[in-house]
Amino acid sequence: MARKQHSGSEALEAPTFEQNLDRLEGIVKKLEESELPLEEALQLFEEGTKLSEGCRKQLEEAEQRVEILSKRAGSVVAKPMDSDAAEEE
């Protein structure tokens, strides 16, 4: 379940982090609570490892974005706004 297709001319969208995490949690629960045939358990395990890797990559990308934004914010110097100067503009 790497991508889902929408009808019409809408672009393909990858599942969100939350959707992937929900699916991964469902797989773990099913593996823990069920006595599945070996082949089905292996398929679920394989899907789970792919989802886990995808979630890890999404988290790393989010972390990089936060780092970039933090660095940008660190270079911005806040200056108090002079109320008289603001009225003149």
Instruction: Render pLDDT for 29-68 as a digit per residue (tens, 0 to 9).
Output: 999 998 999 999 999 999 999 999 999 999 999 999 998 8
C-alpha 49/C-alpha 32 separation (Å) is: 15
Q: What percent of the chain has pLDDT over 70?
A: 76
- In this structure, what token pair is assigned to residue 68? 């970039």
**pLDDT of residue 9 exceeding 70:** no
- Phi, psi values for residue 5, rounded to 5°: -110, 135
Please tell me which residue, 56 or 75, carries the higher pLDDT value. 56
Q: What percent of the chain has pLDDT over 90?
A: 54
The sign of the torsion formed by the CA atoms of 31, 46, 59, 10 equals negative
CATH topology of domain 17-71: Helix Hairpins (1.10.287)
Please tell me which residue, 11 or 9, carries the higher pLDDT value. 11
* pTM (predicted TM-score): 0.64
- In this structure, what token pair is assigned to residue 6? 């929408």
